[in-house]
Every structure is written in C-alpha cells, then in structure tokens.
Amino acid sequence: MKRLIIFTDLDGTLLDARTYSFEPAIPGLKLLREKDIPLIICSSKTRKEIEYYRERLDNHHPFISENGGGIFIPKDYFKSQISNLKSEENGKYQIIRLGARYSDLRKAIKELQDEGFNIKGFGDMTVEELADIANMSIDEARMAKDREFDEPFVFRGSETDTQRLLERIISKGFNYTQGRFFHVLGNNDKGKAVSLLIDLYRNNFGEITTIAVGDSPNDIPMLEKVDYPIIVQKPDGSYDSRIEIPNIIKADGIGPYGWSKVILKIISDSKSTV
C-alpha cells in the first residue's frame, strides 16, 4: 500500500455535531498513530480552535484553518518546501496564506447589513451570544471569534432572500460556502489548500494515497481533490444530499462513529479498496 495521507473535517465529522467529542473516533485515531499515518485537520475553525483540538489529539501534523484560508506547517516538518509558494514564518509554523483579509470580510458584512439583509456575523456577536448559538463554552467561543480569513454568519430570510444575498456576496468580489453556518470568504477553499499540501507530501514522500472525510458542502472542494472522498452521516442518519461526487464513499455511521469505522476498514484493507 502507498503511504496514506488523511484529511479530515472537524465539526460533524471527527467531532460529534452536538457535543464536540471525538471519543467515538478513538479506535481509528489510535490505529493512525500506530501506523504513523498523517492526519491533517481541514476545518472552518480558527487556528486557535484547531490548536486546541490538536493538543487534545496529540496531533503534530500540518493543518488547514478557516475553509482553506491558511495552511500551517510545523517548522522542519518537510525536508523540502515548494519554492514558488509565498509563505511566512510565524512562531512555530511556516504559514501559507490563501484567504482574504478578515477586515475586508467584516466590511462586506456591514455593507450587506446596510443593504437590508438580516445577517449577523461572528464579529457582530458577543462571546456569550456565540457560545449560546453554537453550543460552545465561553473559552471555545472566544477562540472561534479570533478569525483571520473567513467570517461565519447567520441569516434569516426566504429562499429568494438567500439567493439574493449570495449573489450580492459574489458581486462584492467574495465567495461563500456553507457548513453549520454560512461563510463569506475570499478566493480560497479547502480544495486549494489540500492540493498544495498533497504536492508537498508527494515531494517529500513520493507516491501517496489520499483520503478525505467530511459531512457538509464546504467539504466538497476537499473531497474532490483526493483519491478516496468519504462522507459521514448527519445526526439524523442521513447524508447531505448536496454533496454529489461520482466516487463518493458513504461511511456507515454518524459523525465520529462513521469516521472511525471507515478509517479502520480502509487501513485493514491492504489494497486500499473500500
């Protein structure tokens, strides 16, 4: 089997959608550690949120924050870097920035509000409001508000209003995606960031087999870039019908339960067939 590289979403995938627990995924996580298989977190969460979970997971691999806005590579992780990529050193990471400036995203949110859209971004909420709406602790909400590349928001309106809102976001030169919340972002997505990391892994390790696990539409760009795209079930046992990829694999289980089950199956199959 070629060296496996696994990319994973967090909310609703590796983490339970309601409790944010990864305990059901421990059997799969344990096997990845035993086999020394890199697990790259690729989430809409912020750098600080991902660092919090990386510490709990004892994960020391690169990670991708805020829907592909930033790639964070631990220093000296790769022997060779991609020379034509602009990166910067910041503390313990080599950072590749792909996302828009957060101040520009906040400006777009304010303009949409002035245009009459009933929209509220994370930057408009107090820590207490965000903790309540997202079922987070105060500390988690504080980390979620410390954003760099992406602004999640809630919106109340009809389907027609929603379509008008999304068209206005595009007209302002930004993009949008949707996970648990709507997001306004720049010219970045999970797929672009995953592609760059895949190239880095190939440059350093040769031929690899890539896997990605997600659950929502914002995972589609990531899922489209790997050899084995996988989705887990939603809390009601369904799969998100908006994810339409020809070779998609549907894990048998909700969130981290399905995550662990499919990871164990893949690794136990020496031919990488699932």
Active-site positions? 9
132 to 122, 204, 234, 236, 263: CA distances (angstroms): 12, 44, 21, 22, 33
Torsion of CA 202, 197, 170, 185, to 10 degrees: 180
Number of residues that make up the chain? 274
| Identity of the amino acid at 76 | D
Q: Work out the number of other CB atoms within 10 angstroms of the CB of residue 92.
A: 11
Nearest to 5 by CA among 225, 188, 216: 225
Rounded to 5°, the CA angle 237-239-241 comes to 140
Structural tokens at position 35: 């086999």
Helix axes 26-35 and 255-268, enclosed angle (nearest 10): 30
State the distance between the two ends of the chain, measured CA to CA, in whole angstroms.
Answer: 13
**Which residues lie closer than 8 Å to 139 by C-beta, 6 or more apart?**
none
